[in-house]
Amino acid sequence: MVKLTKIYTRTGDKGETGLGDGSRVAKHDLRVAAYGTVDETNAAIGLTQCHAEGGMTHLLTRIQNDLFDVGADLCTPEQDAPPYPPLRVTSSQVEFLEKRIDELNSDLKSLRSFILPGGTLLSSHLHMARTIARRAERLISQLVELAPTHLEALRYMNRLSDLLFVAARRANANGAQDVLWVPGANRQG
């Protein structure tokens, strides 16, 4: 269990931070950028919750907790013989998102165009969280290419952005208030 008694430690005053395995890296390291962007996603979801209710609130709370797992996973580099078992995202966490996506999407009309992010206040916040989740996913994808990284964290962020997209459509009166993109609509005049 985490116990924080002192918030500042001064250990990062020279531009470095500690990873979950005890190693030190620059604060601009790709791994730090990846889990930092997961944290941004979590904060955006926290803001989104201010406009949600009922089952959506419970779903977003669960996702926020899982995002801490994603951050812990990314914070601890994969190694052959870790001194303790690291916290890793599981396939069941990804499968949970897949089931919720299927439920949320079950009675939405198929899209015939991309939609513009927006609509209701809740939908707008869900879209913002989605775009931040996509940025985290891109950073994690880059990290996977450069260093051993647990792939379930990448899969989780991919599914999360899909879930947030479908949830945003649900928040737009089950898609009825979605604003469709009209390609080239403003090119004349």
What is the domain range of residue 53? 16-79+88-105+117-175
**What is the greatest pairwise CA distance in the chain?**
66
- pLDDT for 18: 80
Note whether residue 184 is domain-resident: no
Give the DSSP letter of residue 172. T
The answer as to whether 97 is a domain residue is yes
pTM: 0.91
Whole-number percent of the chain with pLDDT over 70: 95
Residue pair 180/115 in contact by the 8 Å Cβ criterion = yes
Number of domains in the chain: 1
Residue stretches of the chain with pLDDT short of 70: 1-2, 4, 11, 80-82, 189
At 127-154, the pLDDT tens digits run 999 999 999 999 999 999 999 888 999 9
- For the domain that residue 36 is a member of, what is the CATH number? 1.20.1200.10
Find, among 67, 41, 34, 19, the residue nearest to 143 by Cα: 34
Question: Can you tell me which residue has the tokens 């479908």?
Answer: 166
